[in-house]
Amino acid sequence: MFNIAFSIFNPFYLMPVYSKYADPILVDLLKKDDQLAYTEIFERYCKLLVNHAYKILGNQDEANDVVQEVFLSIWNKRQELILTGSLSSYLYKAVKNRILNHIAHEKVVSRYAESISNFIEDDYVFADFKLREEELEAIIAKEIELLPAKMREVFLLRKVEDLSYEEIALQLNITDKTAKQQVYNSLKILREKLKNFMTVFV
C-alpha cells in the first residue's frame, strides 16, 4: 500500500528494539536522521492514519495519497520537527490539514469548471479556451517526455493504459510499491512544472 519508508531504506533490517521505543524517543532519533526510527513511526501509525483519512474522504486512493504526503513531509522536515503534544496528535492533525487542503482544492477546481461551462456558450470565448486547452495538452505531453525513462514508462502504463500497480509491477518486473512511488514522483514533477502555466491559464 505504502512505499515511502521502503523507498528510502529496507525495513527488513529494522532492529526489534525500535518497536519497544516510546514515541518521544523515536522522534528524537528521527531528528538525528535515524532511518530506522522513521520506519518504526511509519509502521506504527500508517494504517491507523489511512483508515482515519478514508472515513473522511471515502476514497481509498485519496486516503493513501494524503497519508503518504504527510509521511514524506515528516521525513523531509525531520530536523525542524517540533511537537507540542504527542506524536499521534501531531500526525492526526497533519492528516486532517492535508485533507482540508485537498477538499478546498477540489472545490476550487469545481467552481472553475462551472465557470468554464458558462463561458463556452460564447463561441469566441470557447475558441480561446480550446486554444489554451490544446496549448496545455502540448505542454503536458512535452513534460511527460522529459521524465526519466523508467518513471515515464510507469506513469504512462498507469495513467494512459490504466493498468493497476500490480499489473505494472508484473510487466516491468518491479514491486507494486516501486510502481506507486514512480507515479507519485511523476505527478509531483508535473505539478511543479505546470504550476506557472496553470497560474496564467486560470
Query: Structural domains in the chain?
Result: 1-119 (1.10.1740.10), 122-202 (1.10.10.10)
pLDDT at 197 (0 to 100): 55
107-121 pLDDT, tens digit per residue, is 544 554 444 444 444
Task: Give me the count of residues in the chain.
Answer: 202
Q: Is there a contact between 82 and 30 (Cβ–Cβ < 8 Å)?
A: no
Which pLDDT band, with edges at 50, 70 and 90, does 135 fall under? low
pLDDT at 28 (0 to 100): 92
Number of H helices, E strands in the chain: 9, 0
Q: Is 31 exposed, middle or buried (0-12, 13-18, 19+ CB in 10 A)?
A: middle
24-73 pLDDT, tens digit per residue, is 999 999 999 888 999 999 999 999 999 988 888 888 888 888 899 899 98
